[in-house]
Structure 1
């Protein structure tokens, strides 16, 4: 079974943090939320308090991760960017050629670690200012480039999360889940 960790900091965007967890768990992926607050409790950008599965300090290594995820939101993305343990985990994940995902403001973290250098990426409009000159800002709903997927913002969360699920569960299971969650109906009504 695939193993995914999602880092959570105070001030993360609720939908970007929780919808991928919901979708991946429904699809059979072992995803754990990891608080960087020093406790299991994390407050979202809109004042909702949630309990993470794990505290960052309780994990010896993220070497078993098939993917690391970063939700956006402010100041959550800034807090994640300031956490040296998160930064080192992302760098190690990237060097190992394993998957990384970041949405909304969080791609700035990948940019600051050099992970987006030479890649195509998207983010919440305005956060592309953190990209290096070698990163191509696409302004698309989500962008895949090699082992990295980035998402634009809250509205991108569902297609971004379904794409991530497809990496681990395949298109068949992902498509069935989209049907069951009425996502295909939403897309047909456009």
Structure 2
């Protein structure tokens, strides 16, 4: 069974976390939601609270087939976290999927996981990611990195991860089942 870690933190963008959790679980992928906070319950930017499966500190030495970083205003608070950057770098060097949405591609950049790759990101981060930016696309798959623009592209982003981890057919079947 394929596995994925979805990383959340205080002020994460709820849709950008819950869409991948839901879509990947529909595909039969084992998803571990891990929080950067010191407690399992974490509040998103709109005050919606998620209860993570584990603390990030409990999984930072584990390996997954995909690592997914949700975006949101709290991204700035974790974008230079050494443990998170090392976690992403380890997965990138092992050619595992490193995925980020909205502001979170900056975390991939800080981890060195965008070298030689292109990305999509929220318009507020385009200047910071200009050397990697692939304009005009909502979701960009570049080698082992999958990135997306924001909350409005979260389902498309999630389906791209499923397609890459499993197959295009499974991604299409899920898209059809949710009327996407």
Q: TM-score range by the shorter chain?
A: over 0.9
- Whichever of the two has the greater Rg, that structure is 1
Question: Of 148, 153, 157, which residue of structure 2 is paired with 1:156?
Answer: 153
Provide, for residues 108-131 of structure 1, a one-character-per-residue CA deviation record: whole Å limited to 9, x for no partner: 111122221221111000202222
Provide, for residues 2-53 of structure 1, a one-character-per-residue CA deviation record: whole Å limited to 9, x for no partner: 0100111000001001011000001100011001101111110111111001
Q: How does 1:94-105 map to 2 (within 5 A)?
A: 94-105=92-103
Structure 1 residue aligned with 2:34: 34
Hey, what's the Cα distance between the residues in 2 that align with 1:117 and 1:169? Answer: 25
Hey, what's the Cα distance between the residues in 1 that align with 2:165 and 2:146? Answer: 14
Hey, what's the Cα distance between the residues in 2 that align with 1:153 and 1:67? Answer: 19
Aligned residues: 180
Structure 1 residue aligned with 2:167: 170
CA RMSD of aligned residues (A): 1.4
Q: TM-score, normalised by structure 2?
A: 0.94
Q: How does 1:1-190 map to 2 (within 5 A)?
A: 1-59=1-59, 61-63=61-63, 65-74=64-73, 76-131=74-129, 133=131, 135-183=132-180
Provide, for residues 59-90 of structure 1, a one-character-per-residue CA deviation record: whole Å limited to 9, x for no partner: 26122x1110001110x211221322111100
Structure 2 residue aligned with 1:187: none
Contact in 2 for aligned 1:116/1:131 (Cα 8 Å) = no
Runs of 4+ with >6 A deviation: none
Hey, what's the Cα distance between the residues in 2 that align with 1:80 and 1:90? Answer: 12
Hey, what's the Cα distance between the residues in 1 that align with 2:136 and 2:149? Answer: 7
Q: Which runs of 5+ in 2 are unaligned?
A: none
